[in-house]
Amino acid sequence: MNQQLTTKENLVNQRKVAEQIIPDYPNPALESIRFTNAGHINGSGGWSANAVVTIDGKEYQEILGTLVSGGDVFPTIPPGSKPDPVTVIYSDGTSEVLK
């Protein structure tokens, strides 16, 4: 059963997930993360939302979550890569650059 959260709670979770992805996938070609829905708590208790992740101009359809994420396979990270700033576009249309 899906549990509904407030807009503020969903935005906090979107930012948390974006902050997890950037160091976990330190590809300098990672350009943006755009959340396409607000997100929800699923039956296992984890929060997730649909997102489009843009890497080197190509869009990857993802389900990004606080416990588990999945979707299209990202390209291999070049050895020794460090992340560049990434634009995060939240489901409410606001955005920020995370470093």
Predicted local distance difference test score (pLDDT) of residue 1? 44
Position 1 in a domain: no
Overall average pLDDT of the 63-87 stretch: 94
Average pLDDT of span 8-21 = 97
Domain that holds residue 30: 7-98
Q: Does 79 fall in a domain?
A: yes
Quick one: DSSP state of residue 3?
A: B
Q: What is the pTM of this model?
A: 0.93
Q: Is residue 16 part of a domain?
A: yes
CA distance 69 to 49: 9
pLDDT of the residue at 9: 96
The secondary structure of 50-83 as a DSSP string is EEEEEETTEEEEEEEESS--EESPPPPPPTT--P
Place of tokens 């929060």: 47
Residue 2 inside a domain? The answer is no
Does residue 21 sit within a domain?
A: yes
As a whole number of angstroms, the distance between CA 10 and CA 29 comes to 26
pLDDT confidence tier of residue 4, bands split at 50, 70 and 90: confident
pLDDT (mean) for 77-86:
93
Average pLDDT in the 74-98 region? 96
pLDDT greater than 80 at residue 3:
no
Count of CB atoms within 10 A of residue 56's CB? Answer: 10
Counted domains in the chain: 1
